[in-house]
């Protein structure tokens, strides 16, 4: 059994909004494919599913990407999971420090289609008084392009390897979203996805 966050492979099973917002998940076993769709409303999420058996695994995978969600309920209103509420701070995007060097132009284009005036929550790690972005660099870039200068952040725990990337950004004078270099998909794969410290 494997939980897969849907991107391209199963996109024919989901509506465009679900695909664009990365809120669709698939569980494959040897004989069947089970579909799970989340709908986020601020810090809560509704989960529609075709099989209850894998709900805990799917929620765990969903929470990895959406740490700000504090309650998940079914379409009928039954609470499926609850988590401690996060404390949110509204900050200027340009006051947040990156933990990566590059952005993918194709990803920026796709995110630009789906982000409008919705509330965006960004996980950060506070180090020596500065907030470092753990995820959401592309979303922040798009928000700035659309004239949105502030975003909600919340502190999240992270693995120790993130500090190597924070140091790498400092060494390369990447101090804000505006300092990130835009690369085409192939360059991004080569320079960032395959990059190891």
pLDDT of residue 171: 95
Whether the predicted model's global pTM rises above the 0.75 cut: yes
pLDDT tens sequence across 41-57: 999 999 999 889 899 99
Grouping H, G, I as helix, E, B as strand and the rest as coil, residue 45 is: strand
Crossing angle of the two packed helices 137-145 and 105-114, in degrees rounded to 10: 60
Pairing status of strand 71-74 against strand 79-82: antiparallel
Per the CB < 8 A criterion, the answer to whether 180 and 102 are in contact is yes
CA 123 to chain centroid, in Å, comes to 9
Per the CB < 8 A criterion, the answer to whether 188 and 104 are in contact is yes
Question: Which domains, ranges and CATH numbers included, belong to the chain?
Answer: 2-82 (no CATH), 89-193 (3.90.1530.10)
Q: What count of Cα atoms within 13 Å lies in the side-chain half-sphere of residue 10?
A: 19
pLDDT tens sequence across 88-118: 999 999 999 999 999 999 989 988 888 876 7
Please tell me the least confidently modeled range out of 6-15, 125-134, 139-148: 6-15
The CA distance from 165 to 47, in Å, is: 34
Instruction: Kindly give, in sequence order, each residue whose CB lies less than 8 Å from that of residue 39, ignoring residues fewer than 6 positions away.
Output: 23, 45, 46, 48
pLDDT of residue 96: 98
Which token pair is 166? 């924070």
């Amino acid at each position: 059994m494997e939980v897969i966050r849907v991107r391209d492979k199963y996109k024919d099973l989901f509506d465009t909004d679900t695909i664009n917002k990365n809120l669709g998940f698939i569980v494959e076993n040897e004989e069947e494919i089970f579909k799970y769709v989340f709908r986020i409303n601020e810090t809560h999420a509704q989960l529609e599913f075709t099989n209850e058996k894998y709900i805990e695994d799917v929620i765990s995978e969903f929470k990895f990407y959406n740490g700000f969600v504090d309650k998940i309920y079914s379409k009928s209103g039954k609470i499926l999971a609850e988590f401690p509420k996060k404390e949110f701070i509204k900050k200027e995007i340009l006051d947040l420090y990156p933990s990566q060097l590059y952005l993918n132009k194709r990803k920026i284009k796709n995110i630009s289609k789906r982000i409008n005036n919705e509330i965006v929550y960004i996980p950060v790690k506070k180090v020596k008084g500065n907030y470092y972005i753990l995820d959401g660099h592309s979303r922040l870039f798009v928000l700035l392009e659309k004239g949105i200068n502030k975003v909600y952040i919340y502190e999240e725990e992270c693995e120790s390897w993130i500090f190597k990337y924070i140091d790498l950004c400092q060494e390369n004078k990447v101090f804000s979203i505006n300092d990130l270099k835009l690369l085409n998909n192939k360059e991004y794969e080569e320079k960032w996805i395959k990059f190891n410290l």
